[in-house]
Structure 1
Amino acid sequence: MERETGHLVTLSFLRGGAGRTARAMAVSMTVLALAGCTGMNLFGPPKVREETIVPEATLYQEALNNMDRQRYLTAIEQLEKAERQHPRGELREETKLMLVYAHYRIGKFNEAILAADKYLALYPNGQDAAYVMYLKGTSYFGQIKDITRDQELSERAIEVYTALIRAHPGSEYADDAREKLAVANDQLAGKEMSVGRYYLGNGQYTASINRFRMVVENYQTSTHIEEALYRLTEAYLSLGLTGEARNAAAVLGHNYPSSEWYQRSYKLLADQGLSPAVNEGSWLTAQRS
């Protein structure tokens, strides 16, 4: 009976204040254990681990070394760290230049364009401004798709290359920019031709003329100029505007007498008893060189 009483006393003791204390202690220990496992700070906001400050020259040189080893992603991390830790450092201009280059080299063109904009905003007359403009233009150029796609990228490339040539005509990058500018212009002309041919094939002659005229007036150095003049001959004839058709063929023959497109234009007119003839009152006459 005493054992039973003792047992009952013990249970009563656990159910009483001491039991509650024990349970509270157990809960506290559990919370502390969880806090230790999860990194919780129960007495304030979590501590932010401070970034170790590395000398700017060290980060920059390490980035160059990694670029030499083709480790561009690592180099970008180091350059961004240099920017972050030394926003007014002596190598900040070089760091921003290398960020443009590193992004460009691994084909991260949008990032390269953004980095170029940041450089040019701070150093519009910097010693490497021409090179940065070239990388920016070429980042647009590298994303140009076929002529059936939207040509916004071609337009952006043309804009940047034109600005580069105007601002730095004697730059070593200007000549290459001129070559790429011609290709980008050809892309835009090709897009106009593609749409114009579509309209022409669907009998929308006025709409097609507007597209071909755009090529003749704005892209005279493109590879599409001869076909554009032939298509104008074809579209004008379809509308019964024989004077304009004859004039388009005459302009084509004047500028490209040995062109296959001129031979086709000549035959197209001849089949209707017509021949090329200049119309001094036509907008096309001014296109003769």
Structure 2
Amino acid sequence: MNWRQKDEQVALETGQPTIGILKIAALAIPLALAACSSKDDLDDLALNDTPPEVLYNEGLALRAQGKLAPASKKFEELDKLYPYSEYAKKSLVNMAYVNFSRGKYAEAISAARRFLTLYPGNEDAAYALYIIGQSYFRQMPDITRDQETTEKARAAFNELLQRYPDSEYASDAEAKLRIVQDQLGGKEMQVGRYYLEKRNYIAAINRFKTVVIHYQTTRHVEEALFRLTEGYYALGVVSEAQTAAAVLGHNFPDSQWYKDAYSLLNKGGYEPSEDSGSWISKAFRGINVF
């Protein structure tokens, strides 16, 4: 049974989440594993001269048994006793994985970042970035709250895709990044609507402009174009209102938001009409939003 199968078996038997298989050389070393039956045994281990390969294999054994908390402690002890050793390097990646699986996201991020700092060119660097991105992703709040964590998830996934576009984690990172982008676009829309309700049209327009420029491929862009029509029309900047409506109609002709925009302009005697020199027109030039 290989390590991928073992991870899947552990996930099924223990209910622990997994996010990928560690690509670590020589994970299994044929050594007799010393069974640890209590916390005292683990504490005593830090005081003796147990070889690093024994500590590492004991950590792997605990991990395979689904005993993630003691496994994490074992890897931490190895890192403290034998820093910068080959086994400490492997332990850092395992610490990140185990802590993520336990929902200890801050600890997972810390271990993964330390690994990247010490071993930036290592073959497991892509995996460490993936753990960081996933850890932030799991903590994303709803759009009514501050999105600092969501921004950090985006940064980690973007770094992963830029540095390791062909890694086995790239596909899932791209999928997660689309969700992250949608959430960040949703936050801009929420704030923009608030300003629109307060009739602070310039502040509202700036938020909707952000959506149109930076979150153009999210589901929020249709409403953002309609809200731009509303905001500009309320300010009396009719040409920009007409352009927003025209771009909306061109890209989403069957959208209810376009029908609403058309109706709003029509009541004032206007129709959608695109000004090719408008920032709205330029933002969509050459972009397929479908």
When normalised by structure 2's length, the TM-score is 0.80
What's the CA shift for 1:255? 1.3
Q: Distance in 2 between matches of 1:251 and 1:287?
A: 10
Q: Distance in 2 between matches of 1:85 and 1:151?
A: 38
Alpha carbons of structure 1 residues 123 and 50: separation in structure 2 relative to 1, 3 Å: closer
- Matched residue, 2:68: 72
- Matched residue, 2:139: 143
Alpha carbons of structure 1 residues 92 and 257: separation in structure 2 relative to 1, 3 Å: same
What's the CA shift for 1:53? 2.0
Q: Distance in 1 between matches of 2:260 and 2:225?
A: 11
Alpha carbons of structure 1 residues 257 and 85: separation in structure 2 relative to 1, 3 Å: same
User: What are the equivalent positions in structure 2 for 1:41-120 lying under 5 Å apart?
Assistant: 51-120=47-116
Q: Distance in 1 between matches of 2:218 and 2:84?
A: 47
The question of 1:257 aligning with 2:253 is answered: yes
- Matched residue, 2:280: 284
Q: Distance in 2 between matches of 1:172 and 1:69?
A: 26
Aligned amino acid, residue 64 of structure 2: D
Q: Of the two, which has the highest radius of gyration? A: 1
Q: Distance in 2 between matches of 1:89 and 1:120?
A: 15
Do the aligned residues in 1 keep the contact of 2:46 with 2:81 (CA within 8 Å)?
Answer: no
List 4+ stretches of structure 1 deviating above 6 A: none
SS in 2 for 1:146: coil
When normalised by structure 1's length, the TM-score is 0.81
Do the aligned residues in 2 keep the contact of 1:251 with 1:287 (CA within 8 Å)?
Answer: no
Aligned amino acid, residue 184 of structure 2: L
Structure 1 spans left out of the alignment, 5+ residues: 1-48
The question of 1:201 aligning with 2:197 is answered: yes
Alpha carbons of structure 1 residues 88 and 216: separation in structure 2 relative to 1, 3 Å: closer
Question: Which of 181, 186, 201 is the equivalent residue of 2:182?
Answer: 186
Aligned amino acid, residue 269 of structure 2: G
- Matched residue, 1:153: 149
Do the aligned residues in 1 keep the contact of 2:126 with 2:164 (CA within 8 Å)?
Answer: yes
Question: Which of 214, 230, 234 is the equivalent residue of 1:234?
Answer: 230
What's the CA shift for 1:159? 0.9
What's the CA shift for 1:72? 0.9
What's the CA shift for 1:185? 1.2
SS in 2 for 1:107: coil
Structure 2 spans left out of the alignment, 5+ residues: 1-44
- Matched residue, 2:160: 164
The question of 1:273 aligning with 2:248 is answered: no
- Matched residue, 1:45: none
Aligned amino acid, residue 268 of structure 1: L
- Matched residue, 1:132: 128
Q: Distance in 2 between matches of 1:103 and 1:127?
A: 20
What's the CA shift for 1:90? 3.0
Aligned amino acid, residue 189 of structure 1: G
In terms of fraction of residues, the more helix-rich structure is: 1
Q: Distance in 2 between matches of 1:283 and 1:274?
A: 20
Q: Identical aligned pairs, as a percentage? A: 45
Give a deviation string over 1:105-145, Cα, whole Å, max 9, x none. 11111111111111001111111110110001111111101
Relative contact order (alpha carbons < 8 A, sep ≥ 6): 1 or 2 greater?
A: 2
The question of 1:247 aligning with 2:243 is answered: yes
What's the CA shift for 1:244? 0.8
